[in-house]
Structure 1
Amino acid sequence: MIQANAYRDAMSYLTSAVNIVTTSSASGYHGFTASAVCSVTDTPPTLLVCMNKSSRSHVHFLESKILAVNVLAIQHEKISNVFASKLDSIERFKYGKWTKLETGAPILNDALVSFDCYIDKIQEIGTHTVFICPIIAINKNQQHQGLVYFNRNYHSVGQHEEMLL
Structure 2
Amino acid sequence: MLATKTIAPFAPAPDSVSPEKSAAYRNGMARLAAAVTIVTTDGPGGRAGFAATAVTSVSDNPPTLLVCLNKGSSAYPAVSANGFITVNALSAEHEPVSRLFGGKTPVDERFAAATWEPTASGTPRLVDALVSFECRITEVHDGSTHDVLFCEVLDVTTREDGQALVYFDRGYRTV
Equivalent residue for 2:57, pick from 31, 36, 39:
39
Residue 74 of structure 2 corresponds to residue 79 of structure 1:
no
| Equivalent position to 1:137, from 127, 130, 155 | 155
2:127 counterpart letter in structure 1: N
The percent identity for this pair of structures is 41
- Give the match's secondary structure for 1:107: strand
With the length of structure 2 as denominator, give the TM-score of the two structures: 0.86
Q: From the superposition, tell whether residues 62 and 143 of structure 1 become closer, same or farther in structure 2 (CA, over 3 Å).
A: same
> Which residue of the partner structure matches residue 98 of structure 1?
116
Conserved 8 A contact 2:45-2:77:
no
Instruction: Give distance in 2, aligned partners of 1:80 and 1:144.
Output: 16
Hey, what does 1:124 align to over in structure 2? 142
The 8 Å contact of residues 73 and 143 in structure 1, kept in 2 or not, is answered as: no
Who is 1:163 aligned against? none
Give the Å deviation of 1:82. 0.4
- Offset, 1:144: 3.1
The structure that is strand-richer by fraction is 1
Gaps of 5+ in 2: 1-16
What is the rounded CA distance, in whole Å, between the counterparts of 2:141 and 2:46 in structure 1? 24
Q: Residues 19-70 of structure 1: CA distance to partner in whole angstroms, max 9, x if unpaired?
A: 0000002353200000000000000110000010001110111110000000
Aligned to 1:162: none
Q: How many residues align?
A: 157
TM-score, with structure 1 as normaliser: 0.92
2:43 is matched with: 25
Report if the CA contact (8 A) 1:72-1:111 is conserved: yes
Corresponding residue number in structure 1 for 2:8: none
> Conserved in 1, the CA contact under 8 Å of 2:44 and 2:81?
no
Tell me the distance in 1 between the aligned counterparts of 2:126 and 2:49. 11
CA contact (8 A) 2:45 2:82 kept: no
Match in the other structure for 1:51: 69
Q: Is the 8 A contact 1:22 1:68 kept in 2?
A: yes
Give 1 or 2 for the bigger CA radius of gyration: 2
The residue aligned with 2:24 is 6
Two-structure CA RMSD over aligned residues (Å): 1.1
The ranges of structure 1 where at least 4 consecutive aligned residues each deviate by more than 3 angstroms after the TM superposition are none
For the 8 Å contact 2:39–2:51, the answer to whether it is kept is: yes
Structure 1: gaps spanning 5 or more residues: 158-165
* Distance in 1 (alpha carbons) for counterparts of 2:46 and 2:69: 19
Query: Secondary structure at 2:23's aligned position in 1?
Result: helix
